[in-house]
Every structure is written in C-alpha cells, then in structure tokens.
Structure 1
Amino acid sequence: MDESTRIWRDRVARWHKSGHSARVFAEQEGVNAGTLYSWSRRLGMQRSEYRQRSEKATLPALLPVVVAPPAATTPSSSAALEIVFPDGAVVRVPPTFDEDTLARVVRALGGAR
C-alpha cells in the first residue's frame, strides 16, 4: 500500500468516526468533499458499517436543562439565547446569529454531532 493510500485510509476512517458530514470534515481537513467520498468508495469503507461498529459510549451525554425566568434587558444583555454549561462556561448567542458558526461552536464544545 503506497503512502497516499495509507493517508486517505486514515483520513476516511477519521471522517467515519467523527460523525461529521463529508462537507464539514473535508473543510476541517482542507480537502475536497468529493475526493473524500471517492476515496471512501475506492477503499471500500462504508460509513454505515463503520457506525455500527463504533462504540455507543462516543455519543454525547445528555445534560440537564434549566429554563430561567426572563431577566430585565440591560444594554450588556443583548443575547437572544444564553447557554450555561455545568462547568460555568457561557455561550451568548445574539439575535442575528449565523447558524453554521453556532453549530461549529457546539461541536467544538462536545455537543451535537
């Protein structure tokens, strides 16, 4: 097996394990999503088969959600949504947020896949 094949086999395996779409994973890797699909087919690596083999422990844990009563709006509280994590980290989402950016932040924090 040549070096290029080894690199792509590893990359495709990481993509399948990541749970990300080809577009998102390819963007993170700096490669073309079509090329990622092509190598997956070429190597005979089926994503559905890989998911069946992956451990369920890799799924994100559910966290309790507490809905707080609305507070009075102050000039510094212009967020439409505020997410407070158990460790105290806070993500404030403005009323005019970009959904793709928020999704990347949630993934980076170990949330939805």
Structure 2
Amino acid sequence: MDESKRIWRDRVARWHKSGHSARVFAEQEGVNAGTLYSWSRRLGMNRSAYRQRSGKTMLPALLPVVVAPSGATAPSPSATLEIVFPDGAVVRVPPTFDEDTLARVVRALGGVR
C-alpha cells in the first residue's frame, strides 16, 4: 500500500470515529471535504461499513444550540429553519411545512429514534 493510501485510510478511519460531519472534520484536518468523501468511497470505508467492521454503533454528536436572550428579536416567520446532522446532511425547512413529512425525513436521517 502506498503512503498516500495509508494516510487517507487512517484519516478516513479517524473521521468515522470522530462522529463529526465531513465538513467539520476536513476543516480540522486542513483537507477538502469532497476529497475526504472520495477517499472514503475509494477505500470502501463508508460510515455503515465502518460500523459493521468495528462492531460499534456511532452515536450522534451533540451540537451547540444558541438561545436568544429574552427580549431579543424573534426570527422572521418567513425564515427558513436549517437542521444540520452530524454526518453533514442538511435539511432546510421552509416556514410552511408539513410536520409529519418533516418528522419522517428526520427519522430517515437517523436524527430521532
């Protein structure tokens, strides 16, 4: 195995163990998130394959939540809600949305059990 492949195999394994999204992990490593995904696929190390090999279940990472102080201006009713999952998936929810559909999407992405 050449040096580059060995470096990327280690990097991808550390990414999967970290629980961070590709974007966050790539920023920390100083690499491109697309390149990280590409190497993960090339090496056959997608997250589900990693979980099967390691026997571990990856728990979702906790994300910071910002709560506006009382008296702060409320978000506009026309504002889009954005949900970012630890694996990098992003769901943008328009102000007029169907709650049941949103709940199914979030469950499908592994956000709610």
TM-score, normalization: structure 2?
Answer: 0.47
Greater RCO structure (CA 8 Å; 6+ sep): 2
Larger Rg, first or second structure (1 or 2): 1
TM-score, normalised on structure 1?
Answer: 0.47
